[in-house]
Amino acid sequence: MTTDLHDQDGLAALDGLLSHTTVDGIPTLYAPAAGKEITAGLFFRVGRADETLATAGITHLVEHLALHRLGLSDLHYNGATANAYTLFHVTGGEEEVVSYLNNLCAGLRDLPMERLETEKEILRTEAAGRGGGPQHQMPLWRYGARGYGLSSYAELGTWSLTPDQVRHWAETRFTRDNAVLWITSDHVPDGLDLTLPAGSRFPAPAPTSALPVTPAYIHGDDGHVVLTSVVRRSTAASVFADVFGRALFQDLRQEGGYSYSAEADYSPRDAEYATLTAYADSLPQKQDAVVGGFVDTLARLRAGRIEQSELDSVRTKLLKMYDTPDLGAASLPSYALSLLLGHRVLSPDAHRAELDAVTLADLREVAREVWGGALLQVPGRGVDWAGLTVAPQYSEEAVTGTRHESLEDDRVTLVIGTDGVSLLTPKGPVTVRFDAVSAMTTRPDGARALTGHDGFSVTVEPTLFKKVTPERIAALDAAVPAAAVVPMPARDADRIPRPRKREKPPRDRRATARAWGWTALLVLLGALAAVWPVICGYLIVERIQEDRIPPLHGMFGMGVLEFALIRWARSVNRRRRDARA
């Protein structure tokens, strides 16, 4: 059923560019494109950021199950699950597109649950062959193990999700009120049956934070420098991303010769904010130069040292998008996503006006906003010198409870308490509290791996710590919320870790030399302290045998020297122990 779409979303501004209506309650945008084939896309406002770590992958599972009904086909179609949305798209003749959309919605209404375990395995196989990329860990460090940070994690839900959980997710998230359809056609094709359950439009997830201070930095793999920052969505911010990318390319590749790739990107995150990402590669021997050049380039832009020609060049490039043939059809995905996320809808004329209004001062302000919220991933040395703070590497506090020494390292202790678990290391504690657990995986052999909302993880391996009894594991299991528990399959015996032979940490050569030096000095002072009383006694006896009175001042001096030798020996002994520690 097709009805008019009211203009509560500002779509009237697009009249003449595209048309809008509703189909079976789903907002629908359409505009013609050249050619006999048409393309359609069905957006849903649900993605990875809506999940929990324990259910991660549930949206992806629904996508796969819904598409299974279509089977083998020459039709070009697919699905994609992003952080804040899921998209199903298809290209073909009008009848083929109608058949695809109808079968897709029928599949969403009645998911083939007999395929659930097979699709779980397919997703795990897909993940195993998918590389993480140089910026894979950035969401984790910024957001933790929740919301937008989940894109850094494996889809744990593919091990434990039940049919009821997957079915409920489809019924509540893949609804007509949580969708937007777009079609590259001058009319809505006949025969569409997009019947879906009623629901509500879910706003994009509220962002979490694992960074107490920004700008911050983390250490990453050699050869990659990555910066991300969250900025307010604006035309000026999208222009700045292009300016920043060009400046990096000029400074690091053309002038410095340090990098091959140097670029920046602007990607909407939700209705109000976007993620700016910048990247540069380097050879190992040029990494310090790339990091320094990267920071210097952004510092230049923050200081407002941007040429008008740089802004004009980017503005000209962006304005060329409006020379695209079939502009309305080409703009459909972008407008549909804005409608889905609740972002303002800008007509081409309004966007042109905003592009023309961007000034160098606007770019300077965006550059400062980028720096203020920056997270920089660097290889090698830290960048404290640039005013960035290293992201938290350890927890602020440890829990109290039973202590279990490591069977591999005397300096490491596992603590299992009533409030959580802590791993005590020489550099600091790593703690996961039971009231802030994102997920705990469990193994039949007793192993438990806990991940906190802040991204810190503690793995409890009974084979690697003293006295981690079944009773202690049972207490741990009872303390973790059931919704966070992810049962994992049994491991082969040879994959259960065994303690390595303890090895004393390698000693620093200078420290060892100092320890031997203190030892030698201690031996010398001890010998003097032992010999000196003998010499003194001999001299006193000799004076007495000669009927001479021993000098009192001489005896006093001998005693003072003996006392000093003993004090020096004790002091040296303490320093010797410290040097060996």
Residue type, 266: Y
- Alpha-carbon distance of 309 to 315, in angstroms, equals 10
- 311: closest CA among 243, 365, 251? 243
The pLDDT value given to residue 130: 79
- Alpha-carbon distance of 104 to 143, in angstroms, equals 33
For CA atoms 64, 159, 451, 134, the dihedral sign is negative
The pLDDT value given to residue 551: 59
Give me the helix-helix angle, 308-319 and 360-372, nearest 10°: 90
Cβ(51)–Cβ(63) under 8 Å?
no
Cis bond upstream, residue 215 (ω within 30): yes
Cβ(480)–Cβ(437) under 8 Å?
yes
Distances (CA, A) of 246 to 240, 279, 305: 10, 12, 14
| Antiparallel, parallel or unpaired: β 179-183 and 26-30 | parallel
Rounded-to-10 torsion of CA 530, 533, 536, 541 = -120
**Rg from Cα positions in the chain:** 34
Q: Which helix (H) or strand (E) holds 60?
A: helix 58-68
What does pTM read for this prediction?
A: 0.84
- 318: closest CA among 351, 366, 276, 344? 351
Cβ(187)–Cβ(94) under 8 Å?
no
| Antiparallel, parallel or unpaired: β 457-460 and 401-405 | unpaired
The pLDDT profile of the chain, 581 residues, written as one tens digit per residue, is 555 554 556 788 899 999 999 999 999 999 999 998 999 999 999 999 999 999 999 999 999 999 988 876 667 889 999 999 999 999 999 999 999 999 999 999 999 999 999 999 999 999 988 777 899 999 999 999 999 999 999 999 999 999 999 999 999 999 999 999 999 999 999 999 999 999 999 999 999 999 999 999 999 988 999 999 999 999 999 999 999 999 999 999 999 999 999 999 999 999 999 999 999 999 989 999 999 999 999 999 999 999 999 999 999 999 999 988 899 999 999 999 999 999 999 999 999 999 999 999 999 999 999 999 999 999 988 999 999 999 999 999 999 999 999 999 999 999 999 999 999 999 999 999 999 999 999 999 999 999 999 999 999 999 999 999 999 999 999 999 999 999 999 999 999 999 987 655 555 556 556 655 656 655 665 666 666 566 666 666 666 666 666 555 555 555 556 666 566 666 656 665 555 55
Q: Which helix (H) or strand (E) holds 485?
A: strand 485-487
Q: Which helix (H) or strand (E) holds 553?
A: helix 552-580
Q: Which residues pair with 231 in a beta bridge?
A: 274
Residue type, 158: T
- Alpha-carbon distance of 388 to 215, in angstroms, equals 5
Three-class DSSP category at 378: strand
Q: Which residues contact 166 (CB under 8 A, 6 or more apart)?
A: 58, 61, 62, 65, 111, 113, 116
Q: Which residues contact 501 (CB under 8 A, 6 or more apart)?
A: none
Give me the helix-helix angle, 360-372 and 287-302, nearest 10°: 130
- Alpha-carbon distance of 66 to 15, in angstroms, equals 34
Tokens of 80: 């994609």
Instruction: Provide the strand spans (E) within 16-56.
Output: 19-23, 26-30, 38-44
- Alpha-carbon distance of 458 to 465, in angstroms, equals 13
Count CB-CB contacts under 10 A for residue 306. 20
Tokens of 189: 């094709």
The pLDDT value given to residue 77: 83
Cβ(439)–Cβ(446) under 8 Å?
no
